[in-house]
Amino acid sequence: MASGSASSGSSGTKAVVTRFAPSPTGFLHIGGARTALFNWLYARHHGGTYLLRIEDTDRARSTDAAIEAIFDGLSWLGLAGDEEPVFQFARSERHAEVAKALLDAGQAYRCYLTSEQLAERRQKAQEERRPFRLDSEWRDADPTTWPEDQPYVVRIKAPRDGETTIDDQVQGAITVQHRELDDFVILRSDGTPTYMLAVVVDDRDMGVTHVIRGDDHINNAFRQLVILRAMDAIEGGWPDPVYAHIPLIHGADGAKLSKRHGALGVDAYRDEMGLLPEAVFNYLLRLGWGHGDEEIISRDQAIEWFDITDVNKGASRFDMAKLQNLNGHYLREAADERLAELVLPRLTAAGYEDADKALLARAMAELKVRAKDLNELAEGAAFLFAKRPLALTEKAQKLLTDEARSRLATMHERLSGLSEWTLEALEDNLKAMAAELELGLGKLAQPLRAALTGQTTSPGIFDVLVLLGRDESLARIHAQASVSAETQS
């Protein structure tokens, strides 16, 4: 392989093709979701194609559950592939075919070094305090001397002179001296391909023009170019892709992102945390990329504005509080019927089997202004479906003194006589009562809220009365008005 540069320039008239290629050894984590997002956005921005590839060659650790979780998480975020996904393991024969082509052309060789021999050489390099670089005597051996009765691996012949520069779209120009490259294995002794070979072959066969991935793959790029350029020399049609290596995500404290920072599977953000996909989409977009001072960015705006060259070189910091605040914004913007659909299963799981979606939808306008996620929405809506006698929080119990319960009895009598159960009629009636008693409205509203919801916080008290309806509201007020403070405590 001659010295050269992997250009970052325009791909000419060739359509942009990106790919997201997770390994199904675990669920789709938040860093992987951002990589998928940047690939999706770049393809959309340039009118190209975004593909998915499941790199399932690690058969011992790859699971169907993880594959399903990856597809599920991507679908939730709106990042499903434009075509059917490619499964890497199913292409093993094609990978081996390329390894044979490299062997036949003298660009790779059979290496018969045993694991014991390799271990000895690594040990010697360590003792001599030098980096281990394999110098296999089989590299230039005459193929006619290859023994047929011994196991071997196939190694690529990495160049030993010169250098390669990658003009990375995010990191800028990166140069590696060829003497730093090793003759890495492309085919194992059992005939199965390694990751390094499979990735190169799949990217080429899928027509991938832009490889956008984490910057922990930078070293892999130089090794993969060895295979690419060797195959291009053999048969042509193996062009260098455009590389863009994006920085990893760190926690708010600057340390590598871990579970304590929020490095969970995407399903946890949906199921456990109760976040909306548009909020996670928007937040991931802003992790390392921005457009001026814009914080709230729609999907259409993201497609219009995004370019991979605008991604920051430095690591971004994951801030759970910012994500939750952003989610609160999207909750307030979401349609009430959609939120009711999402909250209903949470209420059912919490034991409110009679929760009514229509009532939930009517309540959402008031509930969603006070919540940051679907869990808080469900908690805020629970009072609507609570059974009598209502369970009271400790703070609510303290509000229901004997004097407060006496006033509840009076409110029950007054409200029972209302001909219309509307916001206006309820507000007028209770304000009139407060004026007669020379009290602030809060002195009536606070114990009334405790009686109606069992809590000290809720939507506006008149909204609560309307949402619960006449019969249920009067029944709850009567239930608390009939209990003495001593009995309740």
- Give the percent of the chain with pLDDT over 70: 95
Q: Does residue 167 share a domain with residue 299?
A: no
pLDDT at res. 102: 98
Are residues 175 and 267 located together in one domain of the fold? no
**What CATH number did the domain enclosing 265 receive?**
1.10.1160.10
Same domain, 322 and 374: no
* Model pLDDT for residues 161-213, shown as the tens digit of each residue: 999 999 999 999 999 999 999 999 999 999 999 999 999 999 999 999 999 99
Q: Among the three residues 233, 249, 265, which one is the final residue of a domain in this structure? A: 249
pLDDT-derived band at 484 (thresholds 50, 70, 90) equals: low
Mean pLDDT over residues 30-48, rounded?
Answer: 97
Asked whether residue 9 is domain-assigned, the answer is yes
- The tally of domains found in the chain comes to 4
Residue 389 lies in a domain: no
Is 486's pLDDT higher than 60? no
Q: How high is the mean pLDDT of the chain?
A: 93
Question: Tell me, what's the pLDDT at 258?
Answer: 67
- Above pLDDT 90, what percent of the chain? 87
> Which pLDDT tens digit goes with each residue over 55-86?
998 888 888 999 999 999 999 999 999 999 99
Q: Which domain holds residue 305?
A: 251-333
Asked whether residue 385 is domain-assigned, the answer is no
For residues 73 and 117, membership in a common domain is answered with yes
pLDDT of residue 262: 56
Tens digits of residue pLDDT in 315-340: 999 999 999 999 999 999 999 999 99
Check: CB of residue 51 under 8 Å from CB of residue 17.
yes
Residues placed in the known binding site for ATP: 259
Domain assignment of residue 150, yes or no: yes
Q: What is the pLDDT of residue 10?
A: 43
- 419 and 308 housed in the same domain: no
Active site residues: 259
Residue 388 within any structural domain of the chain: no
pLDDT for residue 295 is more than 80: yes
Clarify whether residues 329 and 224 are in a common domain: no
Q: Answer with the one of 315, 333, 351 that is the final residue of a domain.
A: 333
**Together in a domain, 325 and 340:** no
- What confidence score (pLDDT) does residue 1 get? 43
Considering the domain architecture, whether residues 349 and 452 belong to the same structural domain is answered as no
Report pLDDT for 208: 98
CATH number for the domain including 92? 3.40.50.620
Across 468-488, average pLDDT: 84
pLDDT-wise least confident of 118-122, 254-258, 311-315, 432-436: 254-258
In this structure, the answer to whether residues 398 and 300 fall within a common structural domain is no
Give a yes or no: residue 387 inside a domain: no
Of 249, 278, 294, the last residue of a domain is: 249
- Of 120-129, 168-177, 182-191, 368-377, least confident by mean pLDDT is 120-129
Per-residue pLDDT, 423: 95
Does any domain span residue 151?
yes
Task: Decide if 170 is inside a domain.
Answer: yes
Q: Residue 259 pLDDT > 80, yes or no?
A: no
Tell me the pTM.
0.91
Do 73 and 136 fall into the same domain? yes
- Are 305 and 161 found together in one domain? no
* Same domain, yes or no: 320 and 195: no
- Confidence label for 6 from pLDDT (cuts 50, 70 and 90): low
